[in-house]
Chains A and B, each alone.
Chain A
Amino acid sequence: MGLMSKPIRRTEDKRFITGKGRYVDDVKMAGTAVAWALRSPYAHAKILSIDTEAAKAMPGVLDIVVGAELEAEGIGHLASAFPPAMLKNRDGSPRVDGDRALLTVDYVRYVGEPVAFVIAESLNEAKDAAEQIFVDYEELPAAGLIDEALAPGAPQIWPQAPGNIALDWEQGDEAATAAAFAKAAHVTSIDLINNRVVVNSMEPRGALGTYDDVTGQYELYVTSQGSHPVADTIAKRVLKIPPDRLRVITPDVGGGFGLKMSTFAEYPLVLIASKRIGRPVKWMSERTEAFQSDSHGRDLKSRAEMAFDADGKILAYRIETDFNLGAYGLGFGPGIQSAVPMFVVGGVYKVPVLHNHVRAVFTNTVPVEAYRGAGRPEAAYIIERIMDLAARELGLGQDEIRLRNFIRTEEMPFRSYVGAVIDSGDFQRNLHDCLKQADWAGFPARKAQSARRGLLRGRGMSYYIEKTAGGASAVTIAFTDAGRVQVGVSTSAHGQGHETTFAAIVADKLGVPFESVELIQGDSIRSPHGGGTGGSRSLWNSGNGILKAADAVIDKGREVAAALLDTTTDTIVFDEGAFHVHGSNRFLPLLEVAAAARSGAQLPLELVEKLESGLDSAGTHDEKGDTFPNGCHICEVEIDPETGKVAVVSYEVVDDFGFVLNPLIVAGQVHGGVAQGIGQALLENCLYEPGTAQLQTGSFMDYAMPRADDLPHFGFSYNEILCTTNPLGIKGCGEAGTVGAAPAVMNAVLDALWDKGVRTVDMPMTPMRVWETLRPAGG
């Protein structure tokens, strides 16, 4: 264990801090044309006709693509990542996703839906031409809000989804839950809104497509979180070409947060356009455009109830949720509030029985898909808000109610009611550590101090748990002539520092120099096939996969070393990067053995043939076993009652990520995740206008992105409770900060306002919201 567990500084920084990063917009090819999408200004309308004649004649215009042409060519449609059988209505009937062509033909269903794709020599010429495309729209009534879409007489967005219900899903036992509620000593209920947010990675989406008409090969550079899912979707579903005709390359990516997992229409469109005009075609989203063309996050309303016995122990839990799917079910959208969080709906508590009823609702808005945490922050938000409220109603401390209901350490592995097997965890310890770290006991004095300055101080706690994503895919290790060790992974970093973290594992495991390790990711031809990065799965999948591949390397190396050292395999021991003959001082370093295996010159022919390609090996971590990162967040806020402004004055986290590979990078992930949770709780809100479904928050001028002066210093520490179901003992950390943060902040805001008679708070608690909340309560 040399480099693992150390806060190694990142290798990838070198290019980023010197401006040598290579993002999609930095990739230059001679003769590249520019694409610009014409987007619907209406939330809901029938398209009567699209006239591109005048536009096509404009200077610099090379082509204009419309949906009718693509239909005629048999171009396939996009679809959700959940096959129909995998996510059905509770009565067994199939859910409805709607039908998503690359460019819509007959109806537009949200402001921003692409209607035509203009290809020109320059962006200005493309925009000029787009202004000359005449689309004859017949405007229809629109419903952008959940309530509007569910109201009687609401416009039907998909005829096959009456009442605009896309999915009607449940988990648990409704009757048994009701029976438990009937016996409750106390019932707490809460209505919660989880507001819509826009992902807003700092790099917008983009794609550069080429088609070589000699070879029939397509090549796509794209902002993604994994090249293979994009390649598979485009090749198999959209273009209907053999997969080996398409190479998808994901270069440096400026943030993903779930947004860049999906295949968006513009990606295959640049390939189609490139084939049409015989030149590369690049499309890069602008920011204002992103607000109406990226997928959005969250947007749900829930009513939750928790039944308690006389000791404040949970008897049962039930939730009714309606979530806004947007105009189409795409990506992981339909599953985000249903299947994806289903195993952590009960949080860290012993919940004997529960019933969770979730409906997905179509609206005339941008489709809602995965956003950091994808369902688990929403689930944590509900349970941590209701536990907070229950504590108040039961007269218990926030720590006490949780401690009474925690799954206890000695009960691990614990099979929860919902079927999750939580392998490990020490929730009590993390909570106690966080109480100390946050100086919980000292709060009353701080509250008094704030009061003397005319400010309302509150504290809030959340204890989150989440389940990270699985999916087995291979890792490859290959040795080059130049002494480099190439590690091929199917995951795809976009800020997580995999070049550094994975290299540390390889260096420690194989004893090769850290600098010799090179990560091969993001190339659908060169990297092993797999699901990409998302759901906090990369270290679990690729890190453990490296161990498997490394074991295979060592096994092969032992044979080669034995041959080179003229001994038998059973006398060879691998230690500290070299193969030793046990009991002697003869050894060969791994890289030498790899070189010899590669050349084969000194080895018996049978061995060379058996190895096929030297020590190069693959390994797949395919053992069952999810990881359950968890932790305690404690937040303190200070509210200025005169303006309503909420300042987060302290934020402390104690996490359990199992074995922490690189504490520097893990802390960074937590900071960023917490920042997004705070952002949603206090600042960010994606608003559609009631009645028209026009997007009201269309740029950073109206959508408050957290800045440095909106956020505090973060206190972060961790306890390593090793995961028992993977060799590294790790639990994925990428989304955890976001899972825990929003309820901690909102509980703190409620605490600050509680003494003023406030009982209900919803996100975001903007200054105006706080002021309005305080008014009737006499604040």
Chain B
Amino acid sequence: MSGTVPVALSVNGRKVASEVEPRTLLVTYLREHLGLTGTHVGCDTSQCGACVVHLDGRSVKSCTLLAVQADGHEVTTIEGLGSPENLHPMQIAFNEHHGLQCGFCTPGMIMSAVDFASRHPDPTPLEVREWLEGNICRCTGYHNIVASVEAGARAMAKA
């Protein structure tokens, strides 16, 4: 049966090309093949959202995508959002409002929040909470995450 298939995609603005087993998940490709370990795996039922990245600008669960499905597309991970010297407004907001504790859900949470904020420049707390249905946090109780996303959305709208 299976050998490998070629995949060619853009990750954080950089073109990559590889040969992968078809069953390789996008999250595994990112973490193991490209060494981008900022995207995390927290469950196996596509619910927790620790693996959220952007595919052509839309948030998706990289644990529920094959790498080969991303062939020809653009993937943005947390590493591509901003750097310590040049943080994205949403990243700044999460720090400012203490929207993280252990940090494990955080990359997926931030990527999900950026997608949300790009379409909701002035969100209500309820809108934020409903959007975050696909992101589970065990540490914060979400209170500060909601505050972070609201603030990040407003900062993004200003920028």
Contact = CB atoms under 8 A, between A and B. Distances in A.
Interface of A: 9-10, 12-23, 25-26, 28, 124, 200-204, 252-255, 257, 286-288, 494-497, 664-665, 667-669, 671-676, 699-701, 705-709, 711, 713-714, 737
A700 B134 CA distance: 12
26 contacts: A9-B96, A15-B103, A17-B78, A18-B81, A20-B38, A23-B40, A26-B31, A28-B35, A201-B104, A202-B40, A202-B50, A253-B102, A287-B42, A287-B45, A287-B48, A668-B140, A669-B101, A672-B139, A673-B141, A675-B141, A676-B138, A700-B45, A700-B48, A708-B142, A709-B130, A709-B133
B7 interface: no
Nearest to B130: A709
B59 interface: no
Contact of A674 (B79, B87, B141): B141
A22 B41 CA distance: 13
Interface in B56-101: 77-79, 81-84, 87, 91, 94-96, 98, 100-101
Interface residues of B, number: 57
A496 B45 contact: no
Of B43, B105, B138, B146, the most chain A CB neighbours within 10 A belong to B138
A18 B139 contact: no
A18 B84 contact: yes
Contact of A203 (B42, B87, B94, B96): B42
Contacts of A496: 101
Contacts of A17: 78, 87, 91, 94-95, 100, 103, 106-107, 110
A480 B102 CA distance: 28
Given A252-B102, A711-B129, 9 more contacts: A12-B103, A16-B100, A18-B82, A18-B87, A21-B104, A203-B102, A671-B144, A700-B136, A701-B47
A627 to B, nearest CB: 21
Contacts of B84: 14-15, 18, 20
A500 to B, nearest CB: 10
B48 to A, nearest CB: 6
B142 A254 contact: no
B99 to A, nearest CB: 9
Nearest to B148: A17
A667 B136 CA distance: 19
B129 A664 contact: no
A700 B132 contact: no
Question: What are the 9 tightest A-B residue pairs by CB atom distance, in nearest-first order?
Answer: A19-B38, A254-B104, A16-B103, A675-B141, A495-B102, A495-B101, A19-B78, A671-B141, A26-B37
Contacts of B101: 255, 495-497, 668-669, 672
Nearest to B21: A124
Contacts of A711: 129, 141-143
Interface in B1-45: 23, 31, 35-45
Contacts of B83: 18
Of A19, A26, A673, A711, the most chain B CB neighbours within 10 A belong to A19
B137 interface: yes
Binding site secondary structure of chain B: loop
B59 to A, nearest CB: 15
Contacts of A675: 140-142
B114 to A, nearest CB: 12
A709 B24 CA distance: 33
A645 to B, nearest CB: 15
Contact of A10 (B23, B95, B143, B146): B95
B37 A19 contact: yes
Of B39, B100, B133, B142, the most chain A CB neighbours within 10 A belong to B142
A684 to B, nearest CB: 11
A671 B143 contact: yes
Contacts of A676: 138
A708 B129 contact: yes
Contact of A699 (B45, B91, B110): B45
A255 B132 CA distance: 19
Contacts of B130: 708-709
B117 interface: no
A26 B79 CA distance: 14
B128 interface: yes
A70 B15 CA distance: 49
A245 B121 CA distance: 56
B145 interface: yes
A21 B128 CA distance: 25
Nearest to B105: A202
Contacts of A10: 95, 98
Given A13-B95, A668-B101, A705 B136 contact: yes
B139 to A, nearest CB: 5
A255 B104 contact: yes
B77 to A, nearest CB: 7
Nearest to A199: B138
Contacts of B104: 21, 23, 201-203, 254-255
B100 A13 contact: yes
Contacts of A25: 31, 37, 40-41
A16 B136 CA distance: 16
Of B110, B135, B141, the most chain A CB neighbours within 10 A belong to B141
B102 A494 contact: yes
A13 B139 CA distance: 14
A19 B79 contact: yes
Contacts of A495: 101-103, 139
Given A17-B110, A19-B79, A287 B40 contact: no
A665 B98 contact: yes
Nearest to B24: A124
